[in-house]
Amino acid sequence: MGHRAATVRHIGGCCPLANFVMNLIPTSRRAQPEAAAPALLRWVRRPAGAPVLICFPHAGGSVLSCLGLAAALPAHLAIATVALPGHAPDVPGAPVADARHLAARVAEEIAAELGTDLAPQGAGLTLLGNSFGALLAFETALALERGDAARAPRLRLVVSGFRSPSRPPFEAPLHRLPRAVLLAELRECFGAIGPDLGDLIGAREETALRADLEACETYRLGDAAPLRCAASVIRLTADPSVSVAECEAWREVCAGPVGFHALDAGHFPWSGATAAFARLVSELVASARPAAEVYTLAGRSALFLPARES
């Protein structure tokens, strides 16, 4: 998400996506005590034995935010999305403005539900995060590795639209701004959101958005061990909120192989460049552990592989 956090961009309402909404399944089917925390994973589809992709939406995003991307991804992938407390009517609880706390909960649920996929002979698990979701996916990967270092070979992190977690924000925080000022700031940073931003954000959405912004703006990496799993960093070339240097700094938090890629898209590639983003993600999920390569752009070396045109 870079210097600025992103806002809600719901995908849905189109007839082809309606079936996805009807088929969203809570991760845990077991009976839970009344006081138990609600499941945070919602399944879009889950073919048996398939590689698993878990989507972590941008700040203020919900399950609906990933449905367009899910529809564009290959049908053989099992796809779930993270449903954070307070981000939708069917997810009870107040939003939590702490990325590390949220990630611990998601990691615990993944370990319980998808442990076999992270085993040496498992199908494998990819955590895909954009904007605030990139930070949350990173912290979830760290939590999974802390729980069992042997999970790293079957785990992959794919991120976009967010600075390296090693780089703290340096601009004034957004989460405390009055509503009108907040919306104006978001619109200025992310012009693709459009003039109807205020109509998209009701009281619930605004509360969730502010909590996610606060989680981004107050996050500090601390002394966490470097991530050992493979990672892929997608630089969105039409997104001014994250610089090349901030993208390259992801290698500071990764001890495993890091692949760098560039895509001609703005801050919301799941909806703004769905087909191209889905193709790139499909290739990353299908590929072996990535290795960084170098190409030359405008007469200088850069650590990003351009996405293939089609």
User: Which tens digit of pLDDT belongs to each residue from 222-260?
Assistant: 888 999 999 999 999 999 889 999 999 999 999 999 999
Number of domains in the chain: 1
Q: For position 302, what pLDDT does the model report? A: 44
- Token pair 């990933």 in the structure block, residue: 66
Residue 81 lies in a domain: yes
Which phi and psi (to 5°) does residue 300 adopt?
A: -135, 160
Q: For position 143, what pLDDT does the model report? A: 97
C-alpha triplet 52, 58, 63: angle, nearest 5°? 55
Condensed to tens digits (0 to 9), the pLDDT of residues 169-220 reads 766 677 767 777 777 777 766 654 444 555 567 778 888 888 999 999 999 9
Residue 180 lies in a domain: no
Please give the Cα distance from 155 to 143 (Å, whole number).
12
Q: For position 258, what pLDDT does the model report? A: 96
Please give the Cα distance from 185 to 179 (Å, whole number).
10
The token duo for 36 is 């138990």
* Percentage of the chain exceeding pLDDT 90: 54
Under 8 Å between Cβ of 52 and 76 = no
Residue 302 lies in a domain: yes
Residue 131 lies in a domain: no
Residue 134 lies in a domain: no
Residue 106 has pLDDT above 70, yes or no: yes
Under 8 Å between Cβ of 63 and 86 = no
Long-range contacts of 119-122 (CB under 8 A, 24+ apart): 119/154, 120/150, 120/153, 120/154, 122/154
Mean of pLDDT values over 141-151: 96
**Which range marks the domain in which residue 283 is found?**
15-29+69-120+142-166+224-255+267-306
- Sorting pLDDT into bands at 50, 70 and 90, what band is 4? very low
Please give the Cα distance from 83 to 69 (Å, whole number).
16
Q: For position 17, what pLDDT does the model report? A: 42
Under 8 Å between Cβ of 294 and 60 = no
- The three-state secondary structure class of 270 is helix
Q: Which of 25-34, 98-107, 149-158, 246-255 has the lowest average pLDDT?
A: 25-34
Q: How many CB atoms lie within 10 A of CB 265?
A: 25
Query: Of residues 168 and 173, which shows the higher confidence score?
Result: 168
Under 8 Å between Cβ of 260 and 202 = no
Strands 300-302, 155-160: pairing is unpaired
Residue 116 lies in a domain: yes
Under 8 Å between Cβ of 233 and 261 = yes
Q: For position 142, what pLDDT does the model report? A: 98
The token duo for 140 is 């979830």
Query: Of residues 258 and 22, which shows the higher confidence score?
Result: 258
Residue 64 lies in a domain: no
Q: Which of 32-36, 47-51, 90-94, 181-185 has the lowest average pLDDT?
A: 32-36
Residue 290 lies in a domain: yes
Q: Which helix (H) or strand (E) holds 114?
A: helix 99-114
Q: For position 27, what pLDDT does the model report? A: 44
Task: Please provide the DSSP assignment of 148-194 as one string.
Answer: -GGGGGGEEEEEESS--TTS---SPPSTTS-HHHHHHHHHHH-GGG-
Q: For position 59, what pLDDT does the model report? A: 87
- The three-state secondary structure class of 196 is coil
Q: Would the CA dihedral through 128, 132, 137, 142 be positive or negative? A: positive
Please give the Cα distance from 161 to 135 (Å, whole number).
10
- Sorting pLDDT into bands at 50, 70 and 90, what band is 295? very low
Q: For position 121, what pLDDT does the model report? A: 86
Beta bridge partners of 261: 234, 305
C-alpha triplet 124, 126, 131: angle, nearest 5°? 175
Smallest CA-to-CA distance from 60 within 223, 230, 215, 220 is with 215
* Percentage of the chain exceeding pLDDT 70: 75
- Sorting pLDDT into bands at 50, 70 and 90, what band is 10? very low
* 249 alpha carbon, distance to own chain's centre: 18
What's the predicted TM-score (pTM) here?
A: 0.80
Smallest CA-to-CA distance from 83 within 47, 59, 107, 57 is with 57
